[in-house]
Structure 1
Amino acid sequence: MSGERPASRLEALRFARRVVAQQAAAALAQLDGWIKAEEKREAEQRRGREMRPAPPDWLIQYGLNRGNVDAVHAGDCWAAAKSGRCRPATREQALDALRRQVPPCVHCQPDSALGVLD
């Protein structure tokens, strides 16, 4: 190491500035990548919501053996979603089921919405 002089304080500060600038550029590039990935994820979710078919207006809930009908629900009933045994139905099918004494859901009250009163 003969002939080399120690770095001056000014040179050390300029070196430190270059290091910080490189680290900041790398951090910004990483953040930009995260932003791009999040924008892509949100766009995919938006496309998925737009392409999802509209929920049915009415649902008929079947028993465990799928033979008997247990209840009539509105299409957006949370209780129907929990049961997992529902099939989409037309307005006429829901009305027919209610007329055959199939019980209406106590949560969404499809009989009121359909205008069927006891």
Structure 2
Amino acid sequence: MFDDLPDDVPRLETLRTWHAMWVARIDAKLAQARQREAEQARAAAAREAERPAWLLDYGLNRDREPAAVHVGDCRMAGGRSKGIDADTARQALAGGVRACTLCRPDTELGMLEQ
């Protein structure tokens, strides 16, 4: 099956050494890649844990009144958002702050929009 290999011991040992070096290099690179993927997974999990469940988005006006309530991962939430808990989100919605029409936090919280 492997008739293309040489027959003498010195050349076979040379080939074995050469391939052992390559296997060692591949193993080292594989270990680095696995470590990098594990670190990325840990970082993603940490970011996910830090993400609030609900967001209160503030308007551009000088008073910075709340403008909308969002689910924590809503793409429509702007940079002026602040993480809040579910009770605060319910109070804001009950107090007249509008629910985002994309993520529908009022539905997620089991409330009907007033």
User: After TM superposition, is the score higher than 0.5?
Assistant: yes
Following superposition of structure 1 onto structure 2, how do residues 28-67 of structure 1 map, counting pairs within 5 Å? 28-52=23-47, 53=49, 55-64=51-60, 67=64
Task: Work out the CA distance in 1 between the residues paired with 2:8 and 2:92.
Answer: 83
What RMSD in Å do the two structures reach over aligned CA positions?
2.6
Gaps of at least 5 residues in structure 1 are: 1-10
C-alpha displacement at 1:63, in angstroms? 2.5
Q: Return the letter of the residue paired with 1:38.
A: A
Match of 2:99 among 88, 97, 104: 104
C-alpha displacement at 1:48, in angstroms? 3.2
C-alpha displacement at 1:65, in angstroms? 5.7
Task: Work out the CA distance in 1 between the residues paired with 2:98 and 2:85.
Answer: 17
Gaps of at least 5 residues in structure 2 are: 1-5
| Cα distance change, pair 64–17 in 1 and its aligned pair in 2 (3 A) | farther
Give the 3-state SS of the residue equivalent to 1:93 in structure 2. helix
Task: Work out the CA distance in 1 between the residues paired with 2:43 and 2:15.
Answer: 42
Q: Return the letter of the residue paired with 2:27.
A: D
| Cα distance change, pair 13–79 in 1 and its aligned pair in 2 (3 A) | farther
Which structure shows the bigger proportion of residues in helix conformation? 1
Equivalent pairs, count: 106
Q: Return the letter of the residue paired with 1:32.
A: D
Identity of aligned residues (%): 34
Query: Which residue matches 1:5?
Result: none
Task: Work out the CA distance in 2 between the residues paired with 1:117 and 1:104.
Answer: 7
TM-score by length of 1: 0.69
Runs (4+) of structure 1 exceeding 6 A deviation are: none
Task: Work out the CA distance in 1 between the residues paired with 2:80 and 2:54.
Answer: 13
Structure (1 or 2) with the larger CA radius of gyration: 1
Query: Which residue matches 2:3?
Result: none
User: Is residue 74 of structure 2 the alignment partner of residue 77 of structure 1?
Assistant: yes
